[in-house]
Amino acid sequence: MTISIPTQQQAAVVEDPGENFKIVLRHDIQVGEPGPEEILVQLTCTGLCGSEVRAVSAWAAYNPVIGHEGVGRVVKAGSNVSSSLLGQRVGVKWLYSACMECSICKRGFFHHCPKQLNTSRHVPGTLQQYVVADARFVTKIPENLSDEIAAPILCAGLTMAGALAHLDQELQPGDWIAISGSGGGLGHIGVQIAARVKKLRVIAIDSGSEKRKISIDSGAEVFIDFKTEDVAAHVLELTGEGAHATIVVPGNKEAFQMAPSLVRNLATIVCVGLPKNQMDIPISATLSAARGLTIKGSSVGTEEQLTELLQLAVKGIITPEIEVFEFAETPRLIQQLTKDGIKGRAVVKIPMDQ
């Protein structure tokens, strides 16, 4: 099999990150060359993650080529990589690599390695035709799962599987969980895992009829519109004492502020949303102590969780709500993401031609 790989390619590039950022579609971006442990992947599609808002808004330093939910085929392998990977379908995700030597890596939590490198942050992301990935950290995509469905599982799905796994020791089937941001790319998959896999009773919190529908379709027992209802009062009425746990998915202060009012004493609050780095969690230390609350941070998840989730998707138990768009629509879609206007997950097709 000989594949001709061009030297230049199409990519969506972030220019002037900040308030007036632009996404420019270019045809003159250099195709990367895989190092000894790396592979080159020709992408067919990529999901657009809500956390791209951080990159385009310049909340931290990112690569100008963003995107970290890419699916494609391996077209070139580095010298230390088995050639059996050539032609395989793989997922390229947020975790580009980890040190594999620190105490966190030794416990198997590569995604919390302090020395990790991330796709779209330290190395170019998946809004391009060819991406270089570390062969040790890509994910094989099951044959009977489409590229477009697999893409959002790589970050959105994994993030929610990881967040819910933090609650495995604390929650029983039938317990109440409140998920804020339930109608977005992450939230709705979280509702599905919580309701369909963990058998929890899900209180979905978001706003608007579209997000209500996607939350209820995903298995939520109740939907509360935070713009028109008193969320805490409604949760209390439903649960008697408050939910057993909550996951905060949106990256804004209001969602974090609301969290303690949704849960009963001894509950756990899992923090998933990524607001600006300088925003602290607005939670009373005294109340946290008196009520015995646990606050946990969670970012993506383990490879085992991802493999399990992809199998759940093959079986149709987890069904990401996606909308597939042409590559040319990327600039508009990312603008829309910054205004919180996307329900479910937007996936863009990557052009195969030059």
Nearest to Zn ion of 46, 239 (CB atom): 46
Q: What is the phi-psi region of residue 112: left when phi exceeds 0, alpha when psi lies from -120 to 50, beta otherwise?
A: alpha
Nearest to Zn ion of 55, 255 (CB atom): 55
**Residue 241, Cβ neighbours under 10 Å: how many?**
12
Which amino acid is located at 315 in the chain?
Answer: K
List residues bridging with 180 in a β-sheet: 205, 248
Q: Compute the least distance from the CB of residue 328 to Zn ion, in Å.
A: 22
Nearest to Zn ion of 155, 312 (CB atom): 155
Q: Compute the least distance from the CB of residue 142 to Zn ion, in Å.
A: 21
Q: Compute the least distance from the CB of residue 189 to Zn ion, in Å.
A: 12
Q: State how far the Cα of 146 lies from the Cα of 274, in Å rounded to an integer.
A: 29
Nearest to Zn ion of 125, 242 (CB atom): 125
Q: Which residue blocks in the chain are alpha helix, DSSP H?
A: 52-56, 103-106, 147-152, 158-165, 185-192, 209-217, 231-239, 253-258, 285-291, 303-314, 330-338
Q: Compute the least distance from the CB of residue 51 to Zn ion, in Å.
A: 4
Nearest to Zn ion of 76, 345 (CB atom): 345
Q: Compute the least distance from the CB of residue 62 to Zn ion, in Å.
A: 12
Q: Compute the least distance from the CB of residue 297 to Zn ion, in Å.
A: 15
Nearest to Zn ion of 239, 305 (CB atom): 305
Whether 55 and 337 have beta carbons less than 8 Å apart is answered as: no
- Residues whose CB falls within 8 Å of the CB of residue 313, separated by 6 or more in sequence, listed in order: 145, 149, 150, 153, 157, 319, 320
Nearest to Zn ion of 69, 206 (CB atom): 69
Q: State how far the Cα of 267 lies from the Cα of 288, in Å rounded to an integer.
A: 10
Tokens of 239: 């649960």
The residues that touch Zn ion, with contacts defined as CB under 5 A, are 49, 51, 98-99, 102, 105, 113, 155
Three-class SS state of 241? coil
Q: Compute the least distance from the CB of residue 187 to Zn ion, in Å.
A: 13
Total length of the chain:
354
Nearest to Zn ion of 6, 108 (CB atom): 108
Q: Compute the least distance from the CB of residue 300 to Zn ion, in Å.
A: 8
Whether 196 and 318 have beta carbons less than 8 Å apart is answered as: yes
Whether 52 and 350 have beta carbons less than 8 Å apart is answered as: no
Pick the closest to residue 15 from 27, 23, 7 (CA basis): 23
